[in-house]
Structure 1
Amino acid sequence: MDMMRPVRKAVIPVAGNGTRFLPATKAMPKEMLTIVDRPVVQYAVDEAMQAGIENIIFVTSRNKTAIEDYFDSAPELIATLTRSGKTVQVTQLEKMLPLAGTVSYTRQQVPLGLGHAVWCARELVGDEPFALLLPDMVSYGPQGCMAGLMGLYEEVGGNVFAVEQCAPEETSSYGVVGIGRSVSHGFEVTEMVEKPAPAEAPSNYYLNGRYILQPQIFELLAAQERGAGNEIQLTDSMQKLLQTQPFHAHPYKGRTFDCGSKRGFIEANVAFAMLRADMGDDIYTSVKELIALHETRMKAA
């Protein structure tokens, strides 16, 4: 079994309901909420493409057609912008448009969890390794998280995923891994534990939503019983695959924002806005003023 074949495809699950962002998500997919001026899902696609991925597979559900429209051409809009002389906007729209035939869609008809969503992509992935990016998790750093993950995969093959460190007392909120032998860009994974109590956690390294998996995961997902939340959990099948195939972890030298939560979403907007040359200094000044105002209110309370 060749476990160092090139990774050409990426699966991006976008079937979730986004209930934590109601009422905004009543009429639009949560993945289309914007960080500054780009939807959350665009960050995952850009990260995958920058890492060398050739094909994107979206796992969608009902009421997600806005995502398909977003990654499609918009001739009427382009014509309007062109007539108005807005060439910068035209260039931006044309640059983010995927090449024809490089994006595919499949549906998860019933919300049975992340593991089931990944399994729904099996026919489009086929018998080859694939990347998996959870779009709610938006990475922020000097290098895209998936690019670093691809670098590790090219050295060790098998299954790899990205990890970050949390405070030791916060391990019960994450999937945490055990640390084995060191390799140049990471370490071997000895175990995976879902939301362990701090006293029982094998480390404080947690999975941050970026994976490269071998296709044998589909066989395990097909037979996987429902776990936490009465859903088919990806981690359960990964734990089984760990018994027969190697897993390595790449510590990401950056920060990942959980944009599926309101706090993470707001933090991401502030962080990415500060990176922008056209607004970074102004946002920084505004944030400092807001902090000072907050501190004044806290003292007066």
Structure 2
Amino acid sequence: MAALNSKVKKAVIPVAGLGTRMLPATKAIPKEMLPLVDKPLIQYVVNECIAAGITEIVLVTHSSKNSIENHFDTSFELEAMLEKRVKRQLLEEVQSICPPHVTIMQVRQGLAKGLGHAVLCAHPVVGNEPVAVILPDVILDEYESDLSQDNLAEMIRRFDETGNS
């Protein structure tokens, strides 16, 4: 877990791409919402951000990505139904999608002008503070990577020590 006094508290996750390299699977489902076991890919990315001490996450979205926004929004009806049916474990899993101490917000990228433009779209929200830019379609294989070094928390720790990315 990242130090509590870390300078990096915000992350930008560009999710506005159309996922053309993964067609036809992404024709109706954003690639970030494709499941990996029991969670959409984007949830693994957000979980890593949270584990690294990130408290503000900006998703740079496209108008076709409502399912991503809905995934991180509170679903009062679903939570009430799970509570009524005493499905505590499922209720906790749904509520843990976005913990109360974390803010997840969306910014729209009107025109697809590339990754740099997507990050720039988040500037009004993140300002000039240090920020982690996370690409949600890059998943590391724990058997092929050294996860003690190849993880967001470690990158933030190194940034805090050196001031460099």
* TM-score bucket of the superposed structures, by smaller chain: 0.7 to 0.9
- Residues 113-124 of structure 1 correspond to what in structure 2 (within 5 A)? 113-124=114-125
**Runs of 4+, deviation exceeding 3 Å:** 140-144
TM-score norm. by structure 1 comes to 0.49
Quick one: percent identity of the two aligned structures? 45
Task: State the distance in 1 between where 2:118 and 2:135 align.
Answer: 11
Letter of the aligned partner of 1:83 in structure 2? K
- 1:1-301 residue pairs with structure 2 within 5 A? 6-99=7-100, 102-141=103-142, 142-143=147-148, 145-158=151-164, 160=165
Larger helix proportion, structure 1 or 2? 1
Q: 1:86 deviation in Å?
A: 1.7
**Post-superposition offset of 1:84:** 2.7
Q: Amino acid of the residue matched to residue 131 of structure 2? A: F
Cα distance in 2 for partners of 1:71, 1:115 equals: 24
Give how far 1:140 is off.
4.0
Q: Which has the higher contact order (CA 8 A, sep 6+)?
A: 2
Q: Helix, strand or coil: the match of 2:8? A: coil
What TM-score do the two structures reach when normalised by structure 2?
0.86
SS at match of 1:58: strand
Q: Which has the higher Rg, Structure 1 or Structure 2? A: 1
| SS of residue in 2 equivalent to 1:11 | strand
Please give the alpha-carbon distance, in whole angstroms, between the structure 1 residues aligned to 2:160 and 2:32.
30
Question: 2:56 and 2:48 mapped to 1: Cα distance?
Answer: 13
Q: State the AA in 2 paired with 1:46.
A: N
| Greater strand fraction, Structure 1 or Structure 2 | 1
- Consecutive unaligned residues of structure 1, counting only runs of 5 or more, are 161-301
Q: How many residues align?
A: 155
Counterpart of 1:43 in structure 2: which amino acid? Answer: Y
Shift of 1:98: 3.7
1:43 Cα deviation from its structure 2 partner: 1.0
Task: Determine the C-alpha separation between the residues in 2 that align with 1:150 and 1:101.
Answer: 17
The 1-side partners of 2:97 and 2:140 are apart by 18
- Between the aligned partners of 2:91 and 2:102, the Cα distance in structure 1 is 21
CA contact (8 A) 1:12 1:59 kept: yes
